[in-house]
């Protein structure tokens, strides 16, 4: 269980640093810090997915609560202000404890001898957030004032208070309509009265955006204030929703959500695992969301919270850990079928834009990871019918790669894939700022060809099982040719590891990067035992950290050990030394494959137990700084980071 007392909750830096997240299974979420202050533009109590899983819109930013007990006022929430960088009120000082109950954030406030407990969760499948307050201890009633601070904006933006929303009464609450023809939302209370305020509060500061070099303040509209008197033992609920008829049956919703979370842990057979692994099982659920195609329901994966949508590459890398490790086979198959509908010219989409435009097809590796995800799903679930259904799509993908597709992606005469052209970023090291591609990696990237050979071997096996023997032989021959070229051409003898890219515009690139680990972790491995040991040992010495692997060796002149500043600085460091959590999966997989030391392999995962109590509570960050102490950065919750730690823990469990 993730739990803190006053030593964390009562200190501003600690309370502002740690973020909680609840999700609704369709791309919407609620998120803030345990202090009550929003530190990102992406924070809010109701961030609705209006075009599930995208179209994410910040609606209800927060409820500022003030409790009154025997004439004394206790301001429970916190706000940071841009004008003087003050934190007022410092409500975090009243938090006696904070915990995650499953994935449900729970605060206990101490008000003299009284205790007030607050909980937040979302209705699964609905853009609906519940907030409850329980008078848990004390003999005197507590009067509670809840100020509604609303907005209506894209979650990438900040609000400027130069407009007046239309606030109108409805049963048990209010209707908030920002502009004509925008989606209204509703805020209701289970018991209480409402008083209008109708004015703007100016210049709330978002300190994380300051660090990121972005616009860092916004205005919020105080629609009004709910007033309620809580008797000892009583609970009241506030519901914020895009649905006017959203039920105030908070007890049923709370019970349903807790039962759903218990079933996730039980289905994944995590009940006998450490609590932090069970927490990762719940974190995995937050990334699996609904996506429809041509009116048919499907599934996809949100790559990271807050700002990522569903990316093809991230989805396929994360799928085994998110879905197969947790035994959610139906979700895995739905995701694979959903993405099959978007394959175009032999390529999986890299990402789906927020506003619903045409998917972007600028990735070479997402498509190859697709083969691995299908193979793992079939091997784990035993459902070979999935192969029969998707085989024509896979065959078409291979054919396109053989004859060539977008961005000069094609199979060369040595059987290896060449990819890239000026101005394009096609591998997972895809940082681009305006026209600057930070790591273009044009040529034959090592992990791309490890994945290509893996895909060909999978196709040979699938074709054989389906009885297509001529095709099985053809794929097998292509795999043998590519594997022979790989073992001959990628070995960098002077370093004792693999070239990162060969046949690039400037020849072979010997930059020491972690991509080569896939040549070992994707089985059967492509290296001899001695070569594999050498690669793992070099990567361990130069790239390994407590939270993943550096994207570039610190001995390289381009190495950047910090990850901060504006987008030029951050994207410039993104794959030039920044640590990526997801890479711990291939490293541990490769290490165990070669050394067969289960305890040593598991030891590389243990630091993440501590990380679950920092920044994104109960989940794993996207990246970490390359220099010690490897501060967490980027998204506070990243799908493939969670997936790979969870996957490898379960692979290695005794």
Helix %, strand %, coil % of the chain (to 5): 35, 30, 35
The DSSP 8-state label assigned to residue 481 in this structure reads H
- What is the rounded average pLDDT of the residues 353-367? 82
Taking the C-alpha atoms of residue 341 and residue 383, their distance in angstroms, rounded to an integer, is 20
Taking the C-alpha atoms of residue 225 and residue 258, their distance in angstroms, rounded to an integer, is 29
Q: How many domains does the chain have?
A: 2
Question: Are residues 635 and 519 both part of a single domain?
Answer: yes
Tokens describing residue 72 = 């004394």
Q: In this structure, are residues 368 and 448 in contact, taking their beta carbons and an 8 Å threshold?
A: yes
Is residue 352 pLDDT above 90, yes or no? no
State residue 359's pLDDT score.
86
Question: Are residues 349 and 486 both part of a single domain?
Answer: yes
202-216, 233-247, 290-304, 533-547: the lowest-pLDDT one? 290-304
Q: How confident is the model at residue 354 (pLDDT cuts 50, 70, 90)?
A: low
Question: Are residues 465 and 364 both part of a single domain?
Answer: yes
Question: Are residues 448 and 499 both part of a single domain?
Answer: yes
Is residue 156 pLDDT above 60, yes or no? yes
Choosing from 232, 261, 290, the residue where a domain stops is 261
Taking the C-alpha atoms of residue 137 and residue 203, their distance in angstroms, rounded to an integer, is 36
Question: Are residues 257 and 275 both part of a single domain?
Answer: no
Question: Are residues 320 and 236 both part of a single domain?
Answer: no
Choosing from 261, 292, 317, the residue where a domain stops is 261
Q: How confident is the model at residue 294 (pLDDT cuts 50, 70, 90)?
A: confident
Q: In this structure, are residues 455 and 402 in contact, taking their beta carbons and an 8 Å threshold?
A: no
Percent of the chain with pLDDT over 70: 99
Strand order from edge to edge, sheet including 507-509: 444-445, 501-504, 507-509
Model pLDDT for residues 590-644, shown as the tens digit of each residue:
999 999 999 999 999 999 999 999 999 999 999 999 999 999 999 999 999 999 9
- Calculate helix-pair angle for 446-466, 365-381, nearest 10 degrees: 40
Question: Are residues 248 and 273 both part of a single domain?
Answer: no
Compute the chain's Rg from CA coordinates: 26
Choosing from 206, 226, 261, the residue where a domain stops is 261
Question: Are residues 213 and 356 both part of a single domain?
Answer: no
Question: Are residues 156 and 223 both part of a single domain?
Answer: yes
Which of 439-470 are b and which e, b meaning 16 or more Cβ less than 10 Å from the residue's Cβ?
Answer: bbbbbbbbbbbbbbbbbbbbbbbbbeeeebee
Question: Are residues 161 and 215 both part of a single domain?
Answer: yes
- What is the rounded average pLDDT of the residues 497-503? 98
Q: How confident is the model at residue 353 (pLDDT cuts 50, 70, 90)?
A: low
Tokens describing residue 442 = 């044009």
Domain residues for the domain of 217 are 3-261
**What is the SS3 assignment for 400-441?**
HHHHCEHHHEEECCCCCEEECCCCCCCCCCCCEECCEECCCC
Taking the C-alpha atoms of residue 342 and residue 292, their distance in angstroms, rounded to an integer, is 12
Model pLDDT for residues 522-543, shown as the tens digit of each residue:
999 999 999 999 999 999 999 9
Prediction pTM value: 0.96
- What is the domain-level CATH number for residue 529? 1.50.10.10
Q: How confident is the model at residue 356 (pLDDT cuts 50, 70, 90)?
A: low
Question: Are residues 299 and 252 both part of a single domain?
Answer: no
Percent of the chain with pLDDT over 90: 94
Question: Are residues 274 and 296 both part of a single domain?
Answer: yes
Model pLDDT for residues 30-64, shown as the tens digit of each residue:
999 999 999 999 999 999 999 999 999 999 999 99
Model pLDDT for residues 464-498, shown as the tens digit of each residue:
999 999 999 999 999 999 999 999 999 999 999 99
- What is the domain-level CATH number for residue 121? 2.70.98
Model pLDDT for residues 252-275, shown as the tens digit of each residue:
999 999 999 999 999 999 999 999
- Is 477 in a helix, a strand, or coil? helix
**Averaged pLDDT of the chain:** 96
Alpha helices in 91-236 (DSSP H): 207-211
430 compared with 227, residue with greater pLDDT: 227
């Amino acid at each position: 269980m993730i739990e803190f007392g006053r030593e964390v909750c009562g200190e501003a830096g600690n309370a502002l640093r740690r973020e909680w997240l609840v999700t609704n299974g369709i791309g919407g979420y609620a998120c803030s810090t345990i202090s009550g202050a929003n530190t990102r533009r992406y924070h809010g109590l109701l961030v609705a997915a209006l075009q599930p899983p995208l179209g994410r819109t910040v609606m209800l930013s927060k409820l500022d609560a003030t409790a009154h007990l025997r004439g004394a006022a206790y301001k429970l929430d916190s706000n940071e202000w841009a004008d003087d960088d003050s934190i007022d009120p410092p409500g975090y000082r009243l938090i006696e404890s904070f915990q995650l109950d499953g994935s449900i954030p729970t605060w206990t406030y101490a008000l003299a001898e009284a205790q007030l407990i607050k909980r937040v969760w979302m209705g699964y499948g609905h853009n609906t957030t519940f907030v409850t307050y329980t008078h848990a201890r004390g003999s005197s009633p507590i009067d509670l004032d809840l100020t509604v601070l609303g907005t209506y904006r894209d979650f990438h933006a900040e609000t400027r208070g130069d407009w007046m929303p239309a606030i109108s009464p409805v049963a048990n609450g209010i209707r908030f309509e920002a502009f004509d023809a925008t989606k209204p939302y509703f805020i209701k209370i289970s018991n209480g009265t409402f008083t209008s305020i109708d004015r703007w509060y100016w210049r709330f500061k978002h300190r994380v955006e300051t660090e990121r070099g972005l616009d860092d303040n916004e205005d919020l509209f105080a629609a009004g204030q709910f007033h309620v008197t809580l008797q000892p033992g009583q609970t009241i609920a506030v519901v914020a929703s895009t649905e006017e008829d959203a039920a105030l049956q908070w007890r049923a919703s709370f019970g349903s959500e807790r039962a759903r979370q218990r079933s996730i842990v039980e289905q994944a057979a995590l009940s006998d695992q450490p609590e932090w692994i069970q927490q990762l099982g719940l974190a995995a659920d937050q990334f699996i969301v609904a996506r429809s195609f041509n009116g048919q329901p499907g599934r996809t994966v949100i790559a990271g919270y807050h700002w990522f949508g569903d990316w093809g590459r991230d989805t396929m890398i994360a799928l085994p850990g998110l879905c197969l490790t947790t035994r959610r086979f139906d979700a895995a198959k739905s995701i694979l079928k959903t993405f099959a509908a978007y394959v175009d010219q032999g390529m999986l989409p890299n990402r789906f834009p927020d506003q619903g435009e045409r998917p972007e097809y600028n990735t070479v590796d997402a498509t190859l990871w697709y083969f691995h995800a299908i193979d793992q799903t079939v091997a784990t679930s035993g459902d070979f019918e999935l192969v029969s259904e998707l085989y024509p799509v896979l065959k078409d993908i291979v054919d396109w790669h053989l004859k060539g597709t977008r961005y000069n992606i094609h199979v060369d005469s040595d059987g290896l894939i060449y990819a890239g052209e000026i101005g394009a970023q096609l591998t997972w090291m895809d940082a681009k700022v305006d026209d600057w591609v930070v790591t273009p990696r044009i040529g034959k990237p090592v992990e791309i060809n490890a994945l290509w050979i893996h895909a060909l071997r999978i196709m040979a096996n699938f074709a054989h099982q389906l009885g297509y023997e001529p095709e099985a032989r053809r794929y097998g021959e292509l795999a043998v040719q590519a594997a022979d070229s790989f073992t001959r051409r990628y070995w960098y003898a002077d370093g004792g590891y693999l070239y990162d890219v060969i046949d690039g515009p400037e020849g072979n690139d010997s930059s020491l990067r972690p991509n080569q680990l896939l040549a070992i972790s994707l089985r059967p491995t492509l290296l001899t035992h001695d070569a594999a040991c050498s690669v793992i040992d070099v990567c361990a010495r130069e790239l390994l950290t407590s939270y993943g692997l550096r994207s570039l060796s610190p001995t390289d002149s381009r190495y950047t050990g910090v990850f901060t500043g504006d987008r030029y600085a951050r994207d410039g460091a993104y794959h030039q030394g920044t640590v990526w959590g997801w890479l711990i999966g291939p490293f541990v997989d490769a290490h165990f494959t070669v050394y067969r030391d289960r305890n040593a392999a598991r030891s590389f995962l243990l630091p993440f137990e501590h990380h679950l109590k920092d920044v994104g509570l109960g989940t794993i960050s996207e990246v970490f700084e390359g220099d010690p102490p490897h501060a967490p950065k980027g998204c506070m919750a990243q799908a493939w980071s969670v997936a790979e730690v969870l996957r490898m823990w379960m692979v290695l469990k005794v």
